[in-house]
Amino acid sequence: MPTMDIKKAGNKVLKEIAAPVGKIDRKIKQLLDNMAETMYAADGVGLAAPQVGVSLRIVVIDIGEGLLELINPEIVSKEGSETDTEGCLSVPGMYGEVERYASVTVEALNRSGKKFRVNGSGLLARALQHEIDHLNGILFIELAKTVHKG
């Protein structure tokens, strides 16, 4: 499977609000596969479709517990607060302290179009929020209290 080119900060696709996926077809499933391959090749824990130049509401995440594919993800509940360091494949070499919800529940569709929920805390909660921000045109450096080179 081919890896895709990761768009960097400054690319206009990263500032757009991504469109919802209407129909999960072969092209969407291929995009999910290519995004996962790209994320693993870049040693990332998450990747949103806008980061590979596709303005659709699709996210892949793997914090070391197996691949999560989320189509049209939405945060349906959130609680607590945690500040931790984040980086981003679209902002290479930069890190920042970002305050996020400590735990979230996200509702999404899987590649078969079936609705499911994922509950996340710690790194998973952070990754879910970070990637969903990408779908809304937000980069972590816009939310960070401090930003530094890594």
Q: Which of 82, 86, 131, 142 is catalytic?
A: 131
Q: Tell me the sheet residues that pair with 107.
A: 74, 117
Q: Which of 11, 32, 13 is nearest to 21 (CA)?
A: 32
How far apart are alpha carbons 39 and 128 in whole angstroms?
A: 14
- Token pair, residue 50, equals 């806008």
Residue 131: active-site member:
yes
Contacts of 98 (CB under 8 A, 6+ apart): 83, 84, 85, 86, 126, 130, 140, 143, 144, 145
Q: Give φ, ψ of 54 to 5 degrees.
A: -115, 110
Residue 53: helix, strand or coil by DSSP?
A: coil
Residues marked active site are found at: 131
